[in-house]
Amino acid sequence: MKIVLIGANGTIGREVQRKLREAGHEVVPVGRSSGELRVNLEDRASVAALFRDLGAFDAVAVAGGEVAFKPLASLTTEDLVFSFRSKGIGQIHVVQEALPYIRDGGSFTLISGVTGREPIRDGAAAAAVSRAVEGFAMAAASELPRGLRVNVISPTVLAESMPAYGAYFAGHEPVSGEKVANAYLKAIEGRMNGDTIAVGA
């Protein structure tokens, strides 16, 4: 399959690239701030332009999106709007804008995170956005035409990210990027629709 991978240069994205290529797929890497192809998930026009220029493809996977990490009392309207726009509405627009170009039977694989499943310090905005993405996929699955599917990967903290984010995840069992990438492969090649695949506890 030809798979468009948004957030291809992040910690998860690099592992997903490798895994999908190992499985024989063609990956079109898209970055936020690096690489040949770029997209700004906060800007629907940028998302639309990406797909308009790509030609046909079989799947879209998202491995990035930003949210504000702050204590509840410090979260501003701007923090919340930014978080919902980047990782929430941004991923919704990916599905909407890719729809005219994706081939029959294709799939969308979005990303949420453990913040939607467990209370993580400073994670109130992240929790809201993660769950929003999962709810969207549940409902949007029922609207997709032509055998298309949409699912969400909800990874816990990655082993590779523990040096940077370990203070938020004391006692958590991190997962390998390889295991998270495997969940993307499962969502893309599998038959589930509207589901969230939790990776790690």
Point out which residues pair with 199 in neighbouring strands.
155
> Which are the contacts of 201, defined by CB distance < 8 A and separation ≥ 6?
156, 172, 173
Q: Could you say whether residue 13 binds a second copy (CB under 8 A)?
A: no
Give the shortest CB-166-to-a second copy separation in angstroms.
19
Q: Could you say whether residue 194 binds a second copy (CB under 8 A)?
A: yes
Show the site string, 142-181: x = touches a second copy by CB under 8 A, - = not.
xxx-------------------------------------
Q: Tell which positions 59-118 bind a second copy, by CB under 8 A.
A: 71-73, 75, 77, 80-81, 84-85, 88-89, 92-93, 95-96, 99, 115-116
Structure-token pair, residue 150: 């949409």
Q: Distance between CA atoms of 42 and 109, rounded to whole angstroms? A: 18
Q: Distance between CA atoms of 58 and 26, rounded to whole angstroms? A: 10
Which residue, 5, 1, 46, 43, is CA-closest to 153?
5
Task: Please compute Rg for the chain using Cα positions.
Answer: 16
Q: Could you say whether residue 5 binds a second copy (CB under 8 A)?
A: no
How many chain residues are in contact with a second copy, going by CB under 8 A? 44
**Near a second copy by CB under 8 A, which window of 1-9, 49-57, 102-110, 134-142?**
134-142
Q: Could you say whether residue 44 binds a second copy (CB under 8 A)?
A: yes
Point out which residues pair with 108 in neighbouring strands.
60, 150
Q: Could you say whether residue 48 binds a second copy (CB under 8 A)?
A: no
Residues that bind a second copy (CB under 8 A): 44, 71-73, 75, 77, 80-81, 84-85, 88-89, 92-93, 95-96, 99, 115-116, 119-121, 123-136, 138-144, 194
